[in-house]
Structure 1
Amino acid sequence: MLALLHAASSSEVRNLRVDDIEPINRTVQLGKRPHPVPMDPASWSVLQRCLAHRESQRTDNPHVIVTKITKSGRSAASTAYVSHLMDPCGVPPRTLRCTRLPDLVNTLDPKLVAAVLGMDPEGFMIYLADHVEAGRLPEQRERRH
């Protein structure tokens, strides 16, 4: 959900810690993003289920994603573990992120997208398409006059 709706990278998900979650505001600090990311109801619900599962593991590991291997320690889940979480769906998290960012940036205001995702607007410039929809261009006649 974080990759699909919030363009979270695997690293951001993997390193997400319980203390990165602000329940009162329903925000999450993802990685090094400059602002906390507001959670929509669906993402918040999934996150709450993850936290409930984590609590049932009775672990002191500070990360949200806890595996059998990391349960007794304090390290994050492995990169391989997180990258294979979506294998049953047939879509890797990287694909979700790489398709979500260009879609958002090219259909909405990049500054608005940056604010909602808690990222710097400059980081989105690489996702801007190099074309403009015909409906957004002035008529050819208007340019000649």
Structure 2
Amino acid sequence: MSEDLRQLISRYPGAQTFKFGDNATLSAELLNLVRAGKKTATCGALRDYPEGSADTPVVGRRDIALDWDDRPALVIETVEVSICRYCDVTEDFALAEGENETLEGWREDHRRYFERNGGFDPEMELLCERFRLVEDLAERIDVQ
């Protein structure tokens, strides 16, 4: 663990670390969307969050998003967590993810993502999270 990350964890007790996306290019794109204020939500397959997992988002907790090279990039605060089937995701939530202009585009991109990462089923349950940006570590600007 880097000294920067140790210091961040001491500033944000209980923070978990995570990466957006499943490859370097997607991760960088998603971090930039958060920085631009376009991405305020994310989701993952519920199967990837076993009961009691420390990785499960918690309302009010601040977590540290890493870039693909494991450097701290952002601090976010979870403001809402819900479980929703893929087929029931609303346009409002899909657009809050900031990656697509339409619900249909979100469905196509996320179907491909889940196919690459453990399998896809239109009725699969997703862990849906809304968050706010607390700190952009690239700029060292605190937006609290």
Greater strand fraction, Structure 1 or Structure 2: 2
Q: TM-score, normalised by structure 2?
A: 0.25
Q: Which has the higher contact order (CA 8 A, sep 6+)?
A: 2
Q: Could you say which structure has the larger radius of gyration?
A: 1
Structure holding more helix per residue = 1
